[in-house]
Structure 1
Amino acid sequence: MGILADRESRLLIDGTLVAGSAGTFPTVNPATEETLGVAADASAEDMSAAIAAARRAFDETGWSTDTALRVRCIRQLQQAMRDHVDDLRELTIAEVGAPRMLTAAAQLEGPVEDLSFCADTAESYSWSTDLGIAAPMGIKTRRTVAREAIGVVGAITPWNFPHQINLAKIGPALAAGNTLVLKPAPDTPWAAAILGELITEHTDFPAGVVNIVTSSDHGVGALLSQDARVDMVSFTGSTNTGRAVMADSAATLKKVFLELGGKSAFLVLDDADLAGACAMAAFTASMHAGQGCAITTRLVVPRSHYDAAVEAAAATMGGLKPGDPDKPGTICGPLISERQRERVQAYLDSATAEGGRFACGGGRPADRDTGYFIEPTVIAGLDNTAKVAREEIFGPVLTVIAHDGDDDAVRIANDSPYGLSGTVFSGDEERAAGVAARLRVGTVNVNGGVWYSADMPFGGYKQSGIGREMGLAGFEEYLEIKAIATAV
């Protein structure tokens, strides 16, 4: 796999690791701003070759029907990642800026173990269902429903949780019998490219089944949506880019899965442990510098306890100082890039311009001249119409909003173009469940419950996306349904 320093990754196209036609581009450590090494920079021609390889592998080999081979290859990849987990951990901390503690969970080890669900599901799945004999229109007929792979899948992934999102697409797409072209974000190319090395060195994946194309040009990824040889695009990223993916895919009417943005609400009801709930909201919003689409970034609290809620959130968030992601105790590491740091700062500036105040944080840490850091920030004094309450910031920023009872809390939570996630805290479980049932979101945490799991579907309502990732629903996103009627 090579050493981390001065690493140069390659593309995986048709079973071979190759250089990019456009040369290379750097990957940068967001905590230090140092260049770590380079990644292969693919051109449109490279992407076309990868699509052609995936098309051939689907159309001309038995990959889509050989379940045993697919299961074996997925388990081989999983084992290779387990065997190299320490190398992968160091790469993830350096390239993603992910806190070391998170690599034992959703940043690395969790997604690797989740591959078992994909292999197990393929192995036990009912690929064909016999509906029995009936006589529609007087013709005696045996009816069968078959489920088959869609074909070539284009997977476009972001930089915030690259292993989790890459594997959440690769695992079920391949287990279902598809071939795949993965285009990762330019900010974290190594996290994807290293899978190509493991695949070629440690697995029996046939040539062309998996192709990994890194590029500094976002337009190269857009070719997956535009190319008629691609049958489905699975995209995770911003809502604006999701619209572009959907529009590009419309020309060929290919299937589109979209997991998009969020502006999720953390509802604290008037019978909850206020201090405990607000501390949890602050901790969650600071984790990985707030760079998670499902993170709850609106803390909606009883108006009568507003000041106490702000104080409790600030006490926790103000103590979570941004730090070196390589240190075991770090919760809030850097943002991914200078561009993202400037974007988050612009949102903070908008909060004060609209009359808000910072209960803690508000800018770059005074003790950090390098690295793309922002202080964990609690914003008070604004309502749900403020820009920081409406738009996805993707930084360690928590906006505290007052509510006037359960109905108003639900109204505020649902008053958003997004519908990805939500949290409800109450001393009464039945009351909390009733509020949770009224939220127009795809995932809900009630009193600290954890919805992230390989067998749980993940996705959102409204402009947070279309379809579900993970779980059986996520596996079936990558399948077509064929109805077969045989006269008897």
Structure 2
Amino acid sequence: MSTQEKAVTVTRRLLIDGELIETDRTLASLNPATGEVYGFAPEAGVAEADAAIAAARRAFDTTDWATDVELRARCLRQLYQALRDNVEELRELTIAEVGATRNLTLGNQLEAPFEIVRYYADLLDDYAWTEDLGNVEVRGQQHHRWVEHEAAGVVAAIVAYNYPHQLALAKLAPALAAGCTIVLKGAPDTPLATLALGEIIAEHTDIPAGVVNVLSSSDVAVGKRMTTHPDVDVVTFTGSTPVGREIMAAASGTLKRVFLELGGKSAMILLDDADFTTAAMFAAFSIVTHAGQGCALTTRLLVPAAAHDQVAQLVAANFGHVRHGDPGDSSTYMGPLISERQRDKVDGLVQRAVADGATLVTGGEKLEPGFFYAPTLLANVDPDSEIAQEEVFGPVLVLIPYTDDDDAVRIANNSRYGLSGAVFGADSERAKAVARRVRAGTFSVNGGNYFHPDAPFGGYKQSGIGREMGRDGMAEFLERKTLAEIVP
């Protein structure tokens, strides 16, 4: 089948109340490596959002999903197996729609997120739903107290385009494990990837109708409806900080629990005793991972002033080895940005930075065909400048000199964000001491990888509220009820 033939076919369907449905409106999905239409998804409107929320409400209130732990564990294991069984179809979809490289789909773009589902299924095997607080004496009588954990209710989940499977499953799996029902909306740039999860759930699991509902829409009214509807109890969103602020404000009218995973402007600190060659390679290849479209990527490289030019040369040399192009080719390291709009945003930030005095060491240009952007290094960057403060979401690294450890920590913390960070240094204790002083929710010391299903992920300050993954990730979807009775 040709690309054009694929383009005239609605490739996926919405999942509402257990039924896979289409609409009379469609949302085009582009292949960012070519700029051509890849397929179409049904465009949900407010009516579909209302139907999905009603289904989720009914499933929570009238079925035993919220109380049947054994059923939830079984369904999560079915979902895990179905994802594994359909991995190759999902892989090709992810490469074509997301622009993810084939090698990335072996990790965090596709296969690694499957393990989140298995983690929560296994967690249910021995999760303590009740916490005993013991007895207290009140007015001469013994009172026994305990805390029960129960599902928070209906969840509205909205995910971003950059890692659609990771983001969806990091919300879906713990919400389902907790006993919640959910309405999941994919990003307008990558609707097919999220809808594919809905089809797998409908066709390969025993998850009851209405427990999971999956929408695709570019209509802002749909997102607004999901975040303001009185039948929604929890809102979880991954995306930009400005949109996160709007969602938090919208949800305040009904005092919903809001859980936000937002932007980042993370710093990597090279201490003066670091192996600059290794650290520069790590910094260079990290920032071009998925073309820089990662909220936790370290986009500011802080280096001792005396080593500034040396590190700039090392990073630039590593950028020269980055192979970009067809993401389906296993030899490709960097794929495209998601859209022409995003590429224009990245280029605008770079050009303004140069105009403001930053040194363009390499990159700073659009690459064709598709929405590629050259790996870009900007040196001698003012830590207060736009390029050092704003999230770029592209393959752009800024190099900032510092004087001593205190100055490095000050610059690292000079951000409204606090999602992640990294430090390299020969003295491990010194490096860890620096890491503890940086206000960020996740941190890598000498290349350590913190990202795993059992490890909480989230940020400080305007990088978000709450944590995904680990036990903390399920706690976001649980209420705590304190009970007491008089002991006879």
Same fold, judged at TM 0.5 (above): yes
Does 2:459 align with 1:460? Answer: yes
Shift of 1:362: 0.6
Task: State which of 357, 374, 380 in structure 2 corresponds to 1:355.
Answer: 357
Written as runs of structure 1 = structure 2, the 5 A alignment for 1:35-50 is: 35-50=37-52
State whether structure 2 residue 241 is matched by structure 1 residue 230.
no
Q: 5+ unaligned residues in a row in structure 1: which ranges?
A: none
Residues 358 and 380 in structure 2, CA contact (< 8 A), matched pair in contact too: yes
Q: Which deviations, in whole Å up to 9, do the C-alpha atoms of 1:241-261 show, x marking residues without a partner?
A: 000110000000010000000
Q: What does residue 435 of structure 1 align with?
A: 434
Query: Secondary structure, in 3 states, of the residue corresponding to 2:295?
Result: coil
Matched ranges for 1:107-126 at <5 A: 107-126=109-128
TM-score, length of structure 2 as denominator length: 0.97
Q: Per-residue deviation at 1:136?
A: 3.2
In 1, Cα distance between equivalents of 2:140 and 2:429: 52
Give the equivalent residue in structure 1 for 2:381: 382
Distance (Å, rounded) in 1 between the aligned partners of 2:420 and 2:152: 29
Q: Letter of the aligned partner of 2:423 in structure 1? A: V
Alignment of 1:235-250 (within 5 A): 235-250=237-252
**Over the residues paired in the alignment, what is the CA RMSD in angstroms?**
1.2
1:113-136 CA deviation, whole Å, 9 max, x = no partner? 221111111221100122222113
Deviations 1:301-320 (A, max 9, x none): 00001000111111112321
Question: Could you say which residue in structure 2 is the equivalent of 1:320?
Answer: 322
Residue 324 of structure 1: how far off its partner (Å): 1.2
Determine if contact 1:20/1:43 at 8 Å carries over to the other structure.
no
Deviating runs (4+, > 4 A) in structure 1? none
Tell me, in whole angstroms, the C-alpha distance in 1 between the residues paired with 2:457 and 2:221. 27
State the 1:196 CA deviation: 1.5
136-145 vs 195-204, greater mean Cα deviation: 136-145
Contact 1:7/1:36 (<8 A) preserved:
no
The yes-or-no answer on 1:18 pairing with 2:17 is no
Query: Counterpart of 1:427 in structure 2: which amino acid?
Result: A
CA contact (8 A) 2:157 2:183 kept: yes
Distance 2:70 2:295 in 1: 35
Q: Find the aligned partners of 1:296 and 1:137 in 2 and give their Cα distance.
A: 58
Once the 2 structures are TM-superposed, how far is the Cα of residue 262 of structure 1 from its aligned partner? 0.2
Please tell me whether residue 191 in structure 1 is matched to residue 193 in structure 2.
Answer: yes
SS in 1 for 2:455: coil
After TM superposition, the structure 1 = structure 2 runs for residues 408-419 of structure 1, keeping only pairs within 5 Å, are 408-419=407-418
Q: Which amino acid aligns with 1:317?
A: F
Task: Name the stretch that deviates more: 323-332 or 45-54.
Answer: 323-332
Q: Give the paired residue count.
A: 482
In the aligned structure 1, how far is the partner of 2:226 from the partner of 2:139?
43
| Match among 52, 57, 60 for residue 59 of structure 2 | 57
Q: Does 1:424 align with 2:423?
A: yes
Distance 2:378 2:174 in 1: 40
Who is 1:480 aligned against?
479
Cα pair 2:264 2:419 within 8 Å, conserved: yes
Question: Which residue in the other structure is 2:134 paired with?
Answer: 132
1:168 to 167, 170, 177: 170
Give the 3-state SS of the residue equivalent to 2:438 in structure 1.
Answer: coil
Partner Cα distance (2:164, 2:484) in 1: 43
The alpha carbon displacement at 1:137 in A equals 4.4
* Structure 1 equivalent of residue 276 of structure 2: 274
Q: Are 2:12 and 1:9 equivalent residues in the alignment?
A: yes
Query: Cα–Cα, structure 1 residues 137 and 453, in superposed 2: closer, same or farther, change >3 Å?
Result: farther
Q: Distance in 1 between matches of 2:72 and 2:328?
A: 36
TM-score when normalising by structure 1:
0.97
Letter in 1 for 2:481: K
* Structure-2 residue corresponding to 1:301: 303
Aligned residue identity for 1:64: A
Answer yes or no: is 1:391 the counterpart of 2:390: yes
Amino acid at match of 1:401: I
User: Matched residues, percent identical?
Assistant: 54
Residue 105 of structure 1 aligns to a residue in which SS?
Answer: coil
SS for the counterpart of 1:333 is coil
